[in-house]
Copies of this chain bind each other. A is one copy, B any other.
Amino acid sequence: MKIELASSYGFCFGVKRAIKIAENAKDASTIGPLIHNNEEINRLEQNFNVKTLDGINDLTDEKKAIIRTHGITKADLESLKNSGINIIDATCPFVTKPQQICEKMSDEGYDIVIFGDENHPEIKGVKSYAKGKVFVVLDESELENIRLSQRVAVLSQTTRKFEKFSQIVNFLMLKVKEVRVFNTICNATFENQEATRELSTRADVMIIIGGKNSSNTKQLYYISKQFCDDSYLIENEAELEKSWFEAKNLCGVAAGASTPDWVIQRVVDKINLIKGEM
């Protein structure tokens, strides 16, 4: 069995940047998980004493608060500012952008449509910057019975699939006169998705590595599953099962934007070990 890594995988610019920021902010606390990867969060706590709080209400006598890559709501940011705490902003710049777009378009009188998961922290943050009407949807059908203004601005969670975004835009084009489209799907996400797609069409088993709460990792898994039935989403090497690799010729490996190289390496080493035992 051959093992092949996707041509694009793992850490994106925003995650690398956030980790660097956290490593330089010893003893700080992040408001929610810095990135959606427990392995890396544990490493930051062990090596740099960077703790993870559930939200701003859990702050007690902390001196430094790190804003996670996914950003926080405008209200939470205001509270932090008022509290006088030292704020260290690790929001991915590709997430700050949709926040700004949402605020500006709202100011200009557009209804806002956000393609994304309304329970995801990134989207909670982005949505909080809208002043007027804002709708968060995962599918265009959710807009069917909504009365929209004739001027709609539409943007996407950074980690979503382009095809669905484009379906939502098409739906809006038929419904309203002006659709102002901001393609806020980040390039790294797009590249990881394309690489996973390509590899999964050739592999007969696919291992997707990343946090199970990671939106972009889950997208990779869904894409892979479309082309390769035997696709598995794992957080670390302990989850690998020997039976997955029996009678397989090509094992593809892909990883989400928040998956550190050292976790990927451990998984690959373990697959090689299993392969040796077969």
Contact = CB atoms under 8 A, between A and B. Distances in A.
Contacts of A179: 180-181, 183
A4 interface: no
A174 interface: yes
Interface string A140-181: 000000000000000000000010011001100110111111
A182 B174 contact: no
Given A169-B169, A170-B166, A180 B177 contact: no
Interface residues on A, range: 10 to 19
Contacts of A182: 177-178
A182 B172 CA distance: 11
Contacts of A183: 173-174, 176-179
A35 B178 CA distance: 27
Most chain B CB neighbours (cut-off 10 Å) among A162, A170, A181: A181
A183 B174 CA distance: 7
Nearest to A156: B173
Contact of A181 (B162, B165, B173): B173
A178 B98 CA distance: 12
A123 to B, nearest CB: 19
A173 B178 contact: no
Interface string A203-216: 00000000000000
A16 B182 CA distance: 38
Nearest to A173: B183
Nearest to A166: B170
B180 A178 contact: yes
Contacts of A166: 170, 173
A169 to B, nearest CB: 7
Nearest to A179: B181
A133 to B, nearest CB: 19
Given A169-B170, A170-B170, A179-B181, 10 more contacts: A166-B170, A169-B173, A173-B183, A174-B183, A177-B183, A178-B180, A178-B181, A178-B183, A180-B180, A181-B181
